[in-house]
Amino acid sequence: MSYLDVHRVNILPNRRPLNDQKVAELMESIKANGLLNPITLDQNFNLVAGLHRLTACKLMGFQEIECHIITCEDQDQARLAEIDENLIRSELDTLQRSELWLERDRILERMGMRAKVGDNQFTARGSEIISPPPKTTLELAQETGFTERTLQYGKQIARNIAPEVKEKIKGTPIAKSTSALLKVARAGSKERQEAEQAEIAVKDAKAQKKTGEMEKQKNLATKAREKQTQLQLIALQNAIAQKEAKELSKPTQNSLRNVKSDEISIQTDDVWMLDRHMIYCGDTTDEDFIQLLPSNAALAIASPGCSWKHDYLVNEARVVAVMCREGSIYNLCKSTQMPFRFELVIGNIYTAIFSQKPLVKPNLNPDIEGVEGIVAYLVSFFTKPGSFVITPCLGHGEALIACERLKRICFAGNEDPQQVKEAILRWQRCTGKKAQRA
């Protein structure tokens, strides 16, 4: 091992971004135990592995740092060493690991160390012996400690998800889910293939100096990539909504076990404030309720069993979702003046979606059961944190609890004082807070 001035270490561009929390944890560890793992440099003092350790030492005022120096013939070999170190030592989510696998594969291919499909592993160009022989996918998977299929799935994820979509995924729970990432990667497959074919045609046209054809193919490639990205963003939105809905469907421990049903008394025309949410006890078709609503809500949602006299909601919310039993949507559409857009089938519930403007439809019907999960899915898919959600039929407080846990703001109402009371008590138990009569 050697010691080197920290300011002599060269940090090459295009490295993974720093994780501030990891740097802070390393500082605590180094303070307590010293630097347990030296950083790795090449012979030109270019950093191969250990950016977080180097950063932590610099912030702690170290002048020198312990390092392990290896000899790398070129930048590819240095990057390969860095990737291998990250795959072994770093806590990576599925997306990060997949991107490293794909980059590693491409570097090995450039270095002639990656077997191609149909190649003889040991010979090429007649009887010439290749030493060492190129590595197969199975051998590469064994090196990383994963199965061949997992490695192939990872490379598919890294190769097929559009860059803009990857940026949206980073830092979300979806980045850790192979199944969710594969659904996103496979969305827009037709458009991706069209883009790739057009990009090949661009190169051919350029080589043949056919300027008009080159521009035509460029436009086709751009449009196909844009459509692919759009479809993948919808798939991502769908995956996030499904995950959040399933999480919210799980039973939660009550925060306030001592809340009793006789602690609050509900009267008709009462307005209750539940932190940032509002509940009205009364007829939700009356002007008294309508005057309380925001005019820029993202979603209005009605549970099954709600008698529909609420066409006004299409002017108060961007999307109106009415949950129905099978066979009821046709009758609902006949009796309403709201513009129908599409229906979703989630579990055994049919949901009619209305809006004044065209909407993006989820690219698949989600695998979610129960009203609780379906309401949470709709809230997650059609709104963002901080959005207003209106529900004129409280039910068992499904929309209220979904809004609380997803950080939306709920405006709710119901004619039945007992249902209003039950919803308020449920919210109090869920949050540990007290509702206030306005």
Q: What is the mean pLDDT of residues 245-259?
A: 61
Name the band, by pLDDT with cuts 50, 70 and 90, for residue 195. Answer: very high
d(CA 39, CA 61): 16
List of E strands, 86-177: 123-124, 128-129
Q: What is the mean pLDDT of residues 278-291?
A: 94
Q: What number of CA atoms fall less than 13 Å from residue 205's CA on the CB side?
A: 15
List of E strands, 347-408: 349-354, 388-391
pLDDT averaged over every residue in the chain = 86
* Lowest mean pLDDT across 60-69, 74-83, 176-185, 198-207: 74-83
d(CA 92, CA 50): 15
Name the band, by pLDDT with cuts 50, 70 and 90, for residue 133. Answer: low
Q: Higher pLDDT residue, 129 or 33?
A: 33
pLDDT in tens, 307-342: 778 999 999 999 999 988 766 777 788 888 899 999
d(CA 379, CA 241): 8
Q: What is the mean pLDDT of residues 192-203?
A: 95
Cα distances (angstroms) measured from residue 180 to each of 9, 185, 235, 240: 39, 9, 9, 9
Q: Higher pLDDT residue, 57 or 144?
A: 57
Percent of the chain scoring above 70 in pLDDT: 89
Residue 141: is its pLDDT beyond 90?
A: no
In the CATH scheme, what is the code of domain 261-437? 3.40.50.150
Residue 171: is its pLDDT beyond 90?
A: no
pTM over 0.75, yes/no: no
Residue 287: is its pLDDT beyond 50?
A: yes
Yes or no: say if 423 and 398 are a contact pair by the CB < 8 Å rule. no
Q: Supply the pLDDT for residue 146.
A: 82
Q: Which two tokens stand for residue 397?
A: 């407080």
Architecture category of domain 2-158 in CATH: Alpha-Beta Complex (3.90)
Q: Which of 55, 74, 67 shows the shortest CA–CA distance to 16?
A: 55
Q: Supply the pLDDT for residue 125.
A: 46
Quick one: 58 exposed, middle or buried, by C-beta within 10 A (0-12, 13-18, 19+)? middle
Q: Supply the pLDDT for residue 129.
A: 46
pLDDT in tens, 368-414: 878 888 999 999 999 999 999 999 988 889 999 999 999 999 999 99
Q: Would you list the domain boundaries of the chain?
A: 2-158, 161-250, 261-437
Q: Phi/psi at 291 (nearest 5 deg)? A: -65, -20
Q: Supply the pLDDT for residue 127.
A: 46
